[in-house]
């Protein structure tokens, strides 16, 4: 169903008057980029790939001419820009890891972009090692924003329709930046809520805000959205009548999807975006995988050696953002795992799809006997069906796993002790008997500095499990 312009005169005013005015103030062309994206998504895949190849050629030439890092890299490999004609040629270049970006930071910036024209961003706070990168106004505010608006359209939410957005509050460097951010939020009609502010004492207000007639959509981390759903269920409060729920920023687990579906009566839309590349992929109304914004990005799925794997096979997700001319990141490893979904989508869009994204590649529990088990395989569905609000796995040592639980308030002691006794054997079946599983109850589980909930925290030195057992993690 195409909901475009459904909300009448106000929607037209936003789209044709206010948003273009915002573009003029910011010096961006978001609305032009949006119109192009609204059109190109319906093209056949071959035509989308042609557009992608043209943009990729331009980016590679730019990187060769203006970015010392790529000039050296390609000269050393005896490659000229004409050797990279399409996405399939990209594997001639090496994978770019976060560590490589850290080491070569200054050399990766384009020489024709003065520092004042670059926009600083950070990422990776959740792994404890933040990474600084740079993008441009055109990349972030024209193309990134346009992809973001199109992604919301997939959920039936158009620019200017009121929604609540759960995220960590960003710090905007200058006061003019802050003003622009505020203007932009007014225009988009977005009410921001910091994920760290979702507490027992604020939930009543949050839920009553969501119940307002004009609030159409809730967008946020899946852990936060499903936590709100659990709270509504527990309290027996009126369920807010929303039209759409969009989750992003973390992996959407099956148990979270089920809880959101059960409580709100809506199928959530999962979105994949990162700080470095902005919007990457979004689930459409067919709820069959996530469409990659292939007009603006090249997404590759590769094995441990950087070689592309066939559709349906899981691998590392690499992204090449075709609009960041300030600091091009080519074949950049997002440290997430995912797979392409073969075939075309029933919705008719030509954009390729990711079947799923399995979150951080480091969300893995390693065992003394060499097993590598993804956190999402540790009986999360069963845990979610216990009187538990939040849970987290902390691997303290190779042979010691702590399961942190936040129980539903008022859970009888007998239930707590039965959880304490039944969870360890359940996990030992998955991990093996050489891991001591300990269950602890806490009042809450802290969020990362990025406001996210981590499913797995590992305090184990990678040297203790590297080269032990199969490298592929069992699922
Ligand atoms: Zn689709």
- The whole-number pLDDT of residue 359 equals 67
**Residue 45 alpha carbon to ligand 1 centre in Å:** 13
**Residue 60 alpha carbon to ligand 1 centre in Å:** 30
As a dihedral over the C-alpha atoms of residue 303, residue 308, residue 311, residue 315, rounded to 10 degrees, the angle is: 20
pLDDT tens digit sequence for 7-56? 678 888 889 998 999 899 889 999 999 999 999 999 999 999 999 999 99
**Residue 296 alpha carbon to ligand 1 centre in Å:** 17
**Residue 153 alpha carbon to ligand 1 centre in Å:** 12
**Residue 301 alpha carbon to ligand 1 centre in Å:** 20
As a whole number of Å, the CA-based R_g of the chain is 23
d(CA 213, CA 228): 19
Q: DSSP for 101-152?
A: HHHHGGGGS-TTS-GGGEEEEEE-GGGT--EEEEEEHIIIIIIIHHHHHHHH
- pTM score: 0.85
**Residue 376 alpha carbon to ligand 1 centre in Å:** 26
**Alpha-carbon separation of residue 37 from 6, 280, 347, 469 (angstroms):** 19, 13, 16, 45
d(CA 29, CA 402): 50
C-alpha angle with apex 296: 47 to 340, nearest 5 degrees? 75
d(CA 395, CA 195): 25
- HSE-up (13 A, CA, CB side) for residue 359: 23
CB 312 within 8 A of CB 338: no
**Residue 351 alpha carbon to ligand 1 centre in Å:** 8
**Residue 291 alpha carbon to ligand 1 centre in Å:** 6
d(CA 468, CA 405): 30
SS3 percent helix, strand, coil of the chain, rounded to 5, is 40, 25, 35
- The whole-number pLDDT of residue 473 equals 38
Residue listed under structure tokens 């961006």: 28
Question: To which H or E segment does residue 165 belong?
Answer: strand 163-167
**Residue 348 alpha carbon to ligand 1 centre in Å:** 6
**Residue 347 alpha carbon to ligand 1 centre in Å:** 4
**Residue 308 alpha carbon to ligand 1 centre in Å:** 23
Q: DSSP for 380-428?
A: HHHHHTSSEEEEEEEEEETTEEEEEEEEPTT--HHHHHHHHHHHHHHHH
**Alpha-carbon separation of residue 252 from 72, 215, 236, 270 (angstroms):** 40, 23, 24, 7
pLDDT tens digit sequence for 361-417? 667 788 898 887 878 788 888 888 889 888 999 999 999 999 999 998 899 999 999
Coil, strand or helix at 347: coil
Q: Report the residue count for the chain.
A: 475
**Residue 297 alpha carbon to ligand 1 centre in Å:** 18
Spans of the chain below 50 pLDDT: 1-5, 125-126, 469-475
Listed residue (260, 269, 255, 210) closest to 233, CA to CA: 260
Q: What residues does the ion ligand 1 have nearby, CB within 5 Å?
A: 284, 286, 345, 347, 349
**Residue 266 alpha carbon to ligand 1 centre in Å:** 17
- The whole-number pLDDT of residue 83 equals 94
As a dihedral over the C-alpha atoms of residue 73, residue 76, residue 82, residue 83, rounded to 10 degrees, the angle is: -100
Coil, strand or helix at 336: strand
Coil, strand or helix at 455: coil
d(CA 151, CA 87): 23
Give every CB contact of residue 178 below 8 A, 6+ residues apart in sequence. 172
Coil, strand or helix at 211: coil
As a dihedral over the C-alpha atoms of residue 270, residue 272, residue 358, residue 269, rounded to 10 degrees, the angle is: 0
**Alpha-carbon separation of residue 162 from 9, 157, 223, 229, 370 (angstroms):** 15, 9, 22, 20, 49
**Residue 221 alpha carbon to ligand 1 centre in Å:** 22
d(CA 51, CA 14): 29
**Residue 349 alpha carbon to ligand 1 centre in Å:** 6
Q: How far apart are the first and last CA of the chain?
A: 35
**Residue 350 alpha carbon to ligand 1 centre in Å:** 8
């Amino acid at each position: 169903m195409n909901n475009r312009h459904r909300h009448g005169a106000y929607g037209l005013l936003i789209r044709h008057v206010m948003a273009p005015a915002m573009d003029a103030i910011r010096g961006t062309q978001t609305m032009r980029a949006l119109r192009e994206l609204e059109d190109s998504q319906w093209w056949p895949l071959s035509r989308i790939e042609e557009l992608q190849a043209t943009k990729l050629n331009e980016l590679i030439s730019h990187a060769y001419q203006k970015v010392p890092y790529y000039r050296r890299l390609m000269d050393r490999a005896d490659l000229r820009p004409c050797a990279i004609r399409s996405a399939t040629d990209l594997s001639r270049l090496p994978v770019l890891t976060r560590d490589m970006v850290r080491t070569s930071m200054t050399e990766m910036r384009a020489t024709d972009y003065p520092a004042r024209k670059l926009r600083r961003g950070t990422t990776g706070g959740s792994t404890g090692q933040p990474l600084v990168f740079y993008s441009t106004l055109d990349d972030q505010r024209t193309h990134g924003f346009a992809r973001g608006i199109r992604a919301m359209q997939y959920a039936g939410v158009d620019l200017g329709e009121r929604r609540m957005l759960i995220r960590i509050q960003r710090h905007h460097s200058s006061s003019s930046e802050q003003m622009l951010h505020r203007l932009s939020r007014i225009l988009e009609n977005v009410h921001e809520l910091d994920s760290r502010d979702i507490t027992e004492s604020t939930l009543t207000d949050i839920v009553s805000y969501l119940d307002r007639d004009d609030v159409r959509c809730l967008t946020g981390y899946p852990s936060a959205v499903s936590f709100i759903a659990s709270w509504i269920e527990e309290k027996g409060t009126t369920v807010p009548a929303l039209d759409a729920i969009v989750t992003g920023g973390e992996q959407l687990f099956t148990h979270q999807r089920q809880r959101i579906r059960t409580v709100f009566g809506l199928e959530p839309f999962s979105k994949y975006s990162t700080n470095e590349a902005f919007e990457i992929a979004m689930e459409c109304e067919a709820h069959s995988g996530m469409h990659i914004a292939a007009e603006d990005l090249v997404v590759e799925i590769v094995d441990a050696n950087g070689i592309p794997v066939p559709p349906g096979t899981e691998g590392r997700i690499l992204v090449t953002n075709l609009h960041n001319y300030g600091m091009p990141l080519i074949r950049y490893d997002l440290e997430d795992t995912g797979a392409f979904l073969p075939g075309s989508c029933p919705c008719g869009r030509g954009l390729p799809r990711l079947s799923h994204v399995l979150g951080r590649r480091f969300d893995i529990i390693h065992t003394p006997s060499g097993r590598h088990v993804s956190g999402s395989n540790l009986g999360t569905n069963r845990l979610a069906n216990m009187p538990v609000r939040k849970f987290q796995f902390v691997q303290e040592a190779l042979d010691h796993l702590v399961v942190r639980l936040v129980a539903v308030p008022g859970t009888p002691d007998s239930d707590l002790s039965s959880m304490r006794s039944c969870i360890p054997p359940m996990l030992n079946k998955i991990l093996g008997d050489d891991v001591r599983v300990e269950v602890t109850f806490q009042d809450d589980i802290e969020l990362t500095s990025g406001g996210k909930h981590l499913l797995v925290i590992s305090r184990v030195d990678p040297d203790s499990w590297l080269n032990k057992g199969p490298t592929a993690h069992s699922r």
